[in-house]
Every structure is written in structure tokens, then in C-alpha cells.
Amino acid sequence: MATDSFSDERPEVVGQEDDIFSVVSQEMWHTVPLSIVVLGASGDLAKKKIYPSLLSLRRAGLLPAHTAVVGFGRSPLSDEDLRARLRPHLPDGEDDDAAEFLSACTYARGSSYEDADAFGGVSEALAREG
């Protein structure tokens, strides 16, 4: 019978949402910076589902405090253009938490998803967030 080497190190959580959040916030990965790359960041799915979901995860304490979100798309947008597109789709998009989340969102443009060179802007944005 196989055993999980982590089972003795992690507290058991049984069905309580607050307990899950407590456990997650104490995990080692929760203390280090995280970078998320959103492909198709200028599209409808990103602005209506992906970014609002990331904000909800942040508000629930399920993302590290320093989480950078780098969007990649083909549309000619600046960071501010992206943020302006996202704001109306975020729950409570005008509050301080949403503003802080949006400040962590940047955008890199590429001409094609098939062109490796097009991802240079993503690499640069990730290096800046370092």
C-alpha cells in the first residue's frame, strides 16, 4: 500500500472552508511571489472570466500576496488599456483591492501565438516582476 509522504506534515481538513483557507495561507508556496501568464488576455474569456476569477482567488486569500499577472495577446494595448478593459468586469472593480490587483496586471503584445519571438515581451515583463 502506497503512502503519501506529506500526509504527516499537513493538517487534515474536513469540509470547512475557513479551515482550507487557513491551511493554504500557511503553505510554503503561499509565501513566495507568483507570476501568472494569461494567453489571449485581450479577449472576452479573459476579461469576463479569467481575470475576475483571479481577483476572487486573491480576495479569498488563495493567491500569494505578491502575485503578478502578465497578459499576452495580439491586440495593440498598453498596460493601462488592459486595466481599463478589465475594470468593468471585475466584481467591485472600483474598490481598493481591485485597484491593487489591476496594478499587478501588465500586458505584452505579440503578433502570433505560434511565433516564439513574440513572447519576448512576456519574458521581459516576468523579469521586471522578478
pLDDT tens-place string over residues 104-122? 999 999 988 888 888 888 8
Q: Can you give the pLDDT at residue 130?
A: 62
- pTM recorded for the entire structure: 0.77
CA 109/CA 7 separation, integer angstroms: 43
What's the pLDDT tens digit per position in 56-108? 999 988 888 899 999 999 999 999 999 999 999 998 877 899 999 999 999 99
Spell out the domains of the chain, with CATH numbers in brackets.
29-116+124-129 (3.40.50.720)
Task: Report the candidate in 103, 41, 101 with the shortest Cα–Cα distance to residue 71.
Answer: 41
pLDDT of residue 19: 67
Q: Name the more confident of 30 and 15.
A: 30
Residue of 25 and 17 predicted with greater confidence? 25
Give how far Cα 59 sits from Cα of 27, 56, 65, Å.
Answer: 17, 5, 10
User: Is there a contact between 41 and 81 (Cβ–Cβ < 8 Å)?
Assistant: no
In this prediction, residues 21-32 reach a mean pLDDT of: 71
Which uninterrupted H or E stretch holds 105? strand 105-109
Better-predicted residue by pLDDT, 5 or 69: 69
Residue 105: which of 74, 80, 75 has the closest Cα? Answer: 80
